[in-house]
Amino acid sequence: MPFYSDELKEEVRSANDIVDVISGYVRLQKKGSSYVGLCPFHNEKTGSFHVSQNKQLYHCFGCGAGGDVFGFLMEYENYTFQEAMEQLAGRVGMSLPKQELTELERRESDYRSKLLEVNKEAGKYYYLLLRSPRGAHALDYFKNRELSEETMKKFGLGYADKYSDDLYRYLRSKGYDDRLLKDSGLVTMDERHGMHDKFWNRAMFPIMNVHHKIVGFGGRVMGEGEPKYLNSPETQIFDKSRNLYGMNLARQSRREQILLCEGYMDVIALHQAGFDNAVASLGTAFTSGHANLLKRYAKEVLLTFDSDGAGIKAALRAIPILKEAGISAKVISMKPYKDPDEFIKALGAEAYQQRIDQAENSFLFEIRILEQNYNMGDPQSKTAFYMEAARKLLEFSQPLERNNYIEAVAQKYQIGFENLRSLVAQVSTQVGLVKKPEPLKSGVHKKEARREDGVKKAQKLLLTWLGEEPGLYETVRAYLTPDDFPDELCRHAAQELFAQLEAGDLNLAKIPGHYEDPADQREIVSAFHETIREVKTPAERGQALKDTVLKLKEHHLLRLRENHDPDGMQERFAKMLQEKKTLEALRRKEFLVQSSDR
């Protein structure tokens, strides 16, 4: 991927006003210093999506989406950063420099391009064969599966001829050599048959990466033969564990979830029925690579696997992988039908949407399947089930989340919340996962939580205030440093902001770009969009600002006091004395802040 300097990124960003760019996607109305519209990332009736021309940032107060102009294109269009950079540069007529490659890198890049070229040529050939007399029986197969011509075209469906060297001879006639054809996975070689096609007499499904490039194929045999489905082997351009069938189309969907299926025809049937967010793994078990790919495009995945035993096992394997990647999962029931394709044909899209709406929480699905291993009519077996359920509930490390699931399981299996919670505590002590809980002292933890919440809000308030009224920096700079911000992301944002204010070059849009993780970027943007309570007089505004700074300073001193690490004790003690002096000076200081036209 080309390397772009910070200077070039900034040049492209500053040439593309964020309001102009987003106006091409969202209807915006000016309100005060912001432009407001309906958020394109979640359904809403009243506009909570704000675009700031001054900050060159967008932020939704409803769903938390936020970022700069690059981030918007990456989130809306599902672009990579490079694609967003190219799109915005092209929009203003800027040309981007090409990266200088070493001789080895150039050769490897050229070879990958040739492999993609061979796959594209094969895809075109298969596509034409399907529509020729030689592909009539494969075309009939697709039509019998009730696929329209438009759907077949959308997925580039084709046919591999019954002769086992047909594609090989065609690609040789196009000038491609044996080594390239072998490395593409389209042709294999053995001593008995020489060079011959990987796929023959099969209905063909091109597999595309997220950039719509054909990287491999899947083929279903026509008539008798094994295996029924065959996939391309792994090559320089095709990694089964990092590609999902239909992802190139699903990434452009405006739906909030991804539907994860087992087979090609399930994906195609769902897309034809209007569910353009369906994908499938490629004849291999679901992997963390698949989960990481899904995480780029969705926060929630709905498993719509076959309703048979194999489908249930596949769902049970996928759920922990999705959870590990930070993706929430639900399970759609296909019963009484085998798979989404059969379900759609029998009951239609509206009924399938109802199944989506009724999708089962993945943990409760796991518990329900677990229950099937026990005889709930036998007290001993029933107790064993409850013990196993308690062990599974320990997977939730957060007490609040664990209690919510204990409540749900207790209600469903009529064991009683307190009974199940006691059992979970008992099991946790037995297996040594959780320390025996100490009795809560009334009010202490609530007070601590309120204090933490107040400090979190204070640091965001201050970042927002200084971002909107940079002149206030002169008032607070003698009392405040980035170290006073307890949250790591806010501390880094403060470092960047203070450096810009010191240099007299405020550019908030640059700050989120220092973070690769979109979640971090959203958190940074939200920190510059905290709601500031309106106060009228300069004295009231000054007092509000002073209170905010005081809250951060007092919390910083408290953190220093509570740090009992013997390392650096002398330095920490000196810092505490300095902080106490600063606090005393701050308490004596009166702030007067004139009103602003924010």
- At 43-58, the pLDDT tens digits run 777 788 999 888 899 9
Cα–Cα dist 111/495, whole Å? 45
DSSP 440: P
Cβ(525)–Cβ(509) below 8 Å: no
- For the ranges 1-15, 19-33, 92-106, the one whose mean pLDDT is highest: 19-33
CA dist list (Å): 22 to 88, 115, 265, 549: 12, 37, 36, 35
pLDDT 10s digits, 406-435: 999 999 999 999 999 999 999 888 765 444
The pLDDT of residue 100 is 60
Residue 327 has pLDDT above 80, yes or no: yes
Distances (CA, A) of 569 to 558, 565, 572, 575, 582: 15, 7, 5, 10, 20
The pLDDT value recorded for residue 536 is 63
Answer whether 294's CB lies under 8 Å from 260's CB: yes
Q: Write out pLDDT tens, residues 73-113.
A: 887 776 778 778 888 998 888 888 876 656 776 677 688 88
Please write the tens of the pLDDT for every residue from 516-526.
Answer: 677 788 888 88
**pLDDT per residue over 429-470, tens digit each?**
876 544 444 443 444 444 444 555 678 888 888 888 888 888
Distance CA 187, CA 196 (A): 6
Q: What is the share, in percent, of the chain residues with pLDDT greater than 90?
A: 45
pLDDT at 595 over 90: no
Q: Which amino acid is at 167?
A: L
Per-residue pLDDT for 381 more than 90?
yes
Judge contact between 39 and 65, C-beta under 8 A: yes
Q: Which of 108-112, 136-140, 301-305 has the lowest mean pLDDT?
A: 108-112
Cα distances (angstroms) measured from residue 95 to each of 68, 90, 174, 192: 21, 7, 34, 53
Q: What is the structure's pLDDT at 447?
A: 47
Angstrom distance (rounded) from CA 466 to CA 476: 10
Q: What is the per-residue pLDDT for 592?
A: 56
Does residue 360 surpass a pLDDT of 90? yes
Beta bridge partners of 216: 207
Mean pLDDT of 66-73: 89
Mean pLDDT value across residues 230-243: 90
* Alpha-carbon span 416 to 407, nearest angstrom: 8
The better pLDDT of the pair 589, 402 is held by 402
Q: Within 13 A of 134's CA, how many CA atoms are on the CB side? A: 15
